A and B are shown apart, each in its own frame.
Chain A
């Protein structure tokens, strides 16, 4: 309980580099609110996930209510409201990947990482005990020609097999 309170009260502010990027962003739109998504991406990159303090800060910067920021954060699956692992593994499981056995890849990842699949409301469920990986299913990643695919943070990995997954995990763990 006390930990949660501390987390809420830890203030957030952009670091110098992000502040510069934010200043550039805000000039692109006739209204400040329009910079919402890029700003939240920026904040999430810095803070790891969107805490109440981040929402408050973003709201102040964009001159909107905190509720409006919360409204947006809850709508988009790419914004996390809970801590996630160092590597977020997104496994595509939509039809073209399903036709190319993405289930094998997913089951292999599950067994290998010894974790469940995160749901949008419970990211901790899919995070490994050491906090290194978060495993989640996502909808189509628009790479159906090289299915099955996964995304690890910003990188796409194609034509996966259990062997390739092993190689990848070994690389990430080192």
Chain B
């Protein structure tokens, strides 16, 4: 029996309340009480410890522990800055937009808690240039918070000073990368910096900087308001057995899953971390079409999942073990009518356009990969047929060379080679400054390896051929692109 899965709305609970973007209505729904609780009942270090204990992982893409990130910030260097990353540009992701447009006070409350915990006085919200409505709503909310005495000097008589400024981007995807964002905030081209030094030590204006995604910051009021225990019961906690004794690997809390593509009701669904692809598609009104061909689990940079992998849990740990990633939680579903070569072409055009041009492998590699895929899609993919000497019973019935032939798909080997030379997906090493390189080669190589029959067919036939789902991909047993999927026992019947 399939258990009906219901949304657990926490961040999005009051999203559809009319006028929740105004201070008064937000206040009616416990607005700013969590911040008041934080300053009344806890010391800054207590808050940092709570965040560490809650197991909150950054929701922006890397899934790095927020508490751990905060612990890297040196305490003695002031000023320290908070940059809120609202540069939501990953294809398939759109959850931050709704927070900014409908409930900006929640973000401000999250920022206040973070600032209190870290002793930060200045916050910049780097908001995507295209989010004009979001910026308008956010600016209005910031203004209101100043008027009501929740921002500015000496907040609520506690001596706490916090200023929040919104800073518009100008349409560059790479500014979503934390050091790219910092460069862009400083008024330069958004080209990522070499790490180390990490932003926690030397970030914006050469000062320690905490960079957090909108969704991560929005989790903070609820962790403070309802306690760590309440928070950790949501979502699975795995045991990381690589160390002895095993360390807990929490995937706690809810996630704003953004689901788009071939489902009946695309949208943002707030659910506990750790449900499977199949369940999520069910929640989103079911598949539009007959069969699932592929699922992109974490924005377009994430390696693709095939129909063999639909039982993969959508959380940080499980997807990493499935050689993919949760990323920003943008799930794109494709049904049986989709051509994977065509989809890859679309994504590679995106990356070729968005490469910042700083590192040579990426600047030259991304258009090269795009051109190879374009060539295959146009039906001009390069192929060679060679005669392979293979001994056996030949046509004349006698023992000898059977004259067997083999197809060599030059372009497919070239595609994998070029992509792997931007960033190698097997060794997880990259020849570029930032992780944009791996965001390019991950889709390129995973699409190719998992849907190779479709690429071969396109080259062989000289045009795009959409194969039936069963023929388009190779079973996991025959393909090294898959890795054994990991479903811990204690959560198997969740």
Q: How far is B173's CA from A68's CA once the two chains are assembled, in angstroms? A: 20
**Interface positions of A from 26 to 47, Cβ below 8 Å from B:** 28-31, 33-38, 40-41
Interface check A13, CB cutoff 8 A: no
Interface check B187, CB cutoff 8 A: yes
Interface check A168, CB cutoff 8 A: no
| Complex contacts, B268 vs chain A, CB 8 Å | 145
Interface residues on B, range: 35 or more
Interface check B266, CB cutoff 8 A: yes
Is A144 in contact with B91, judged by CB distance below 8 angstroms? yes
Q: Among A3-11, A94-102, A109-117, A122-130, which stretch is in contact with chain B?
A: A94-102
Closest to B185 in A: A34
Q: How far is B258's CA from A144's CA once the two chains are assembled, in angstroms? A: 8
| Complex contacts, A28 vs chain B, CB 8 Å | 163, 165
Is A41 in contact with B168, judged by CB distance below 8 angstroms? yes
Is A151 in contact with B300, judged by CB distance below 8 angstroms? no
Q: How far is B205's CA from A106's CA once the two chains are assembled, in angstroms? A: 42
Q: A37-B169, A154-B132 are in contact. Are A95 and B190 (CB under 8 A)?
A: no
Interface centre among B173, B260, B350, by most chain A C-beta atoms within 10 angstroms, is B260
Is B343 in contact with A156, judged by CB distance below 8 angstroms? no
Is A95 in contact with B332, judged by CB distance below 8 angstroms? yes
How close is B286's CB to chain A, nearest CB, in angstroms?
Answer: 15
Closest to A62 in B: B187
Interface check A147, CB cutoff 8 A: yes
Is A96 in contact with B89, judged by CB distance below 8 angstroms? no
Number of A-B contacts (CB under 8 A): 139
| Complex contacts, B188 vs chain A, CB 8 Å | 33, 36, 68, 71-72
How close is B211's CB to chain A, nearest CB, in angstroms?
Answer: 16
**Interface positions of A from 68 to 97, Cβ below 8 Å from B:** 68, 71-72, 75-79, 90, 93-96
Q: How far is B260's CA from A94's CA once the two chains are assembled, in angstroms? A: 12
| Complex contacts, A72 vs chain B, CB 8 Å | 187-189
Q: A30-B205, A154-B133 are in contact. Are A78 and B171 (CB under 8 A)?
A: yes
Closest to A154 in B: B132
Interface check A104, CB cutoff 8 A: no
| Complex contacts, B169 vs chain A, CB 8 Å | 37, 76, 78
Closest to B266 in A: A145
Residues on B facing A (Cβ under 8 Å): 88-94, 96-97, 128-133, 163, 165, 167-173, 184-190, 205, 258-262, 266-268, 296, 300, 330, 332, 334, 338, 343, 346-347, 350, 353-354, 356
Q: List 13 A-B contacts (CB under 8 A).
A: A28-B165, A37-B167, A37-B168, A64-B187, A96-B261, A99-B262, A139-B89, A140-B92, A140-B350, A145-B268, A147-B260, A154-B132, A154-B133
Q: Which 10 pairs across A and B sit closest by C-beta, in order of nearness?
A: A36-B187, A76-B170, A144-B260, A78-B171, A154-B132, A78-B170, A140-B91, A75-B189, A96-B260, A77-B171
